[in-house]
Amino acid sequence: MYLADRTWPQLGEAMDGESLAVIPLGSTEQHGPHLPLATDHLIAESLARAASGRTGHVCTPTVDIGVSAHHKQFHGTLWVDPPAFRSYVESLARNLTYHGIDRIVFVNAHGGNVEPLREVGRRLREDRAAYAIEWMWNDSIPELVEELFEHPGPHGGPKETAMIMHVARELVDEDRLGDARDGGVVDLENTDSRKFGARTFYDAIDNSENGVFGDQTDATPEKGKQLFEAATDRLVALLEWLDDQPFEDLMPEPHVGTDRR
């Protein structure tokens, strides 16, 4: 159920007794010469809407701009700093609790958002306001990603390329897949990104001239459909599991030696 498409009287009926919501989050940042800046938030919204459509849970509008300063050298990249992102997302989550939501899944498609989202989830849980967890699509299906791609790449690689081929193929410049591969880095292990155990890079451009990794020529719409359907199934399973949990079982354990609430 996509919240923004409903009227408030419709939502009053639809949300009666509803306790779970999904918030899709992504970024607006470079994804190489072949993919749109919208890549991450398109993937997040598509998965969130598909899973919420199957389960009937609330899906909010998408948070399109995330923690992306590490892509700032490339044209068009937009970002907010982590404290601003955390504050915004926490405020949004607390809005939902006002309407009776007490468990939230952050459907995330951007690595830079992970740590801030975990911090928001911890604060909400410590306050007993809600149980909120971060879910990353490719982390839910690692075996399939490994099976489909020899070099999936951590950013702008064939896994993301295939997903966008499936959800918005018209936005993929398929004539530039070879350019993306040849102008980027196929295997991150081949970069000089660590010295004596220390990470020596901060921005994507420090490792990849065109900002992407992996072999983009290995992407197809058919592989994108496989990824999308498998990830959606995993998200549906997570939503169904979370919806079944008693709220008290999701809250922090008491101090050792005290009785449970």
Domains annotated on the chain, with CATH: 3-250 (3.40.50.10310)
DSSP string, 108-123: E--GGGHHHHHHHHHH
Amino acid occupying residue 154: P
What is the number of residues in the chain? 261
Nearest to 106 by CA among 93, 91, 95: 93
Whether the Cβ atoms of residue 238 and residue 105 lie closer than 8 Å to each other: yes
Q: Give the contacts of 78 (CB within 8 A, at least 6 positions apart).
A: 27, 28, 29, 37, 65, 68
Residue-wise pLDDT tens for the chain (261 aa)? 999 999 999 999 888 889 999 999 999 999 999 999 999 999 999 999 999 999 999 999 999 999 999 999 999 999 999 999 999 999 999 999 999 999 999 999 999 999 999 999 999 999 999 999 999 999 999 999 999 999 999 999 999 999 999 999 999 999 999 999 999 999 877 777 788 889 888 999 999 999 999 999 999 999 999 999 999 999 999 999 999 999 999 999 998 887 655
